[in-house]
Chain A
Amino acid sequence: MSELDDLKTRLKIAKAKLQKKNENGKKKGVFLGNAFKIGTEFVAAIAVGTIIGFILDNWFDTKPILIIIFFIFGAAAGIMNIFRAAKKMQNLED
């Protein structure tokens, strides 16, 4: 029976060690993933804003007013995207 107990304690120690290691590794992975994530958020929003502006301009024949306005809206949306992503990162950290 003592052998089994011995195994139990050893298992416990090994598991605790593994968990600690896993946690560290996971955190690093999450941060790297976030870093990759944020860059494109900004660009994508600007692209979408500009495309919407371009289409609306073609519809209403108001070149180039709407494309300028929607470019600015796109940039604002991009900043908002980044802001949200950063907020989510902070929540994960806690």
Chain B
Amino acid sequence: MATNPMHQFQVYKIGPEIEISGVNLSFTNASLFMLISAALVTLLLLLGTREKKLVPSKIQLISEMLYNFIAKMISDTAGKKAKPFFPFIFSLFIFILFCNMVGMLPYSFTVTSHIIVTLTFAIFIFIGVTILGFVIHGFKYLKIFVPSGVPIVLLPIITIIEIISYLSRPISLSVRLFANMMAGHTMLKVFGGFVISLGIVGGWLPLSFSVALTGLEILVAFLQAYVFAILTCIYLNDALNLHH
């Protein structure tokens, strides 16, 4: 069923089945494409930093631009205190970006179009940020659930709403990335199917749509990685600088 638009999201195992204490740890196509993305990132950055010239080569320029881009984003959204988290946010951004971009290649697999992957990222960030907030501020961190200047009658309701809003962070973070990637790739496949079924007479219209959508998808792939990273910065900022 190669014409099924959802077929591209199927996870299948490559090689032998590995099971450790009841948990299936087989190597799948998802793991393969994660490895490919990680390898590409490593390759790009290693090549980019191999020779540090004053007048940079193209590949050095790319890695320097990436560095500057993330460094500026962190200092703009989370302030100076977030500097120690630069490696984390940089790896997060560049890994998601490369997963999305590798997914744009034909016959490849988009790792980020699976909610389990994005939810793992998001829950990891959520728990990390929460622990960080408690470590830095102690029990004062609970103040983010109690905004100042609220009448005492409304306080319990507002607190519940704030807690729900706080808990919704990992969900909105993960669903956004997953839904955008999955919807985009499904749409591309559906339009691709139209080209085949309408043949040489009517196939030109969906083909042109397909081309336009591919461009849009590349933009979305970048934007979603960017949004994921910037929201991580915002959450980090809330944990580092309490102001409510």
| A residues with CB within 8 A of B | 29, 32-33, 36-37, 39-41, 43-45, 47-49, 52, 70, 73-74, 76-78, 80-81, 88
Q: State the majority secondary structure of interface residues on B.
A: helix
CB within 8 Å for A49 and B164 given contacts A29-B226, A33-B223: yes
CB within 8 Å for A73 and B168 given contacts A33-B226, A33-B230, A43-B175: no
Determine if B164 and A73 form an interchain contact, defined as CB atoms under 8 angstroms apart. Answer: yes
| B residues with CB within 8 A of A | 157, 160-162, 164-165, 167-169, 171-172, 175-176, 179-180, 219-220, 223-224, 226-227, 230-231, 234
**Whole-angstrom distance between the Cβ of B127 and the nearest chain A Cβ:** 16
Q: List 28 A-B contacts (CB under 8 A).
A: A32-B223, A33-B230, A37-B231, A39-B176, A40-B172, A40-B175, A40-B176, A41-B168, A43-B172, A44-B168, A45-B164, A47-B168, A47-B171, A48-B168, A49-B164, A49-B168, A52-B164, A73-B157, A73-B164, A76-B161, A77-B161, A77-B162, A77-B165, A78-B168, A80-B162, A80-B165, A81-B165, A81-B168
Chain B residues with Cβ under 8 A from A73's Cβ?
Answer: 157, 160-161, 164
* Among candidates B157, B165, B226, B234, residue contacting A45 with C-beta atoms closer than 8 Å: B165
How many residue pairs bridge A and B at CB < 8 Å?
67
Chain A residues with Cβ under 8 A from B231's Cβ?
Answer: 37
Interface centre among B157, B172, B175, B176 (most CB of A within 10 A): B172
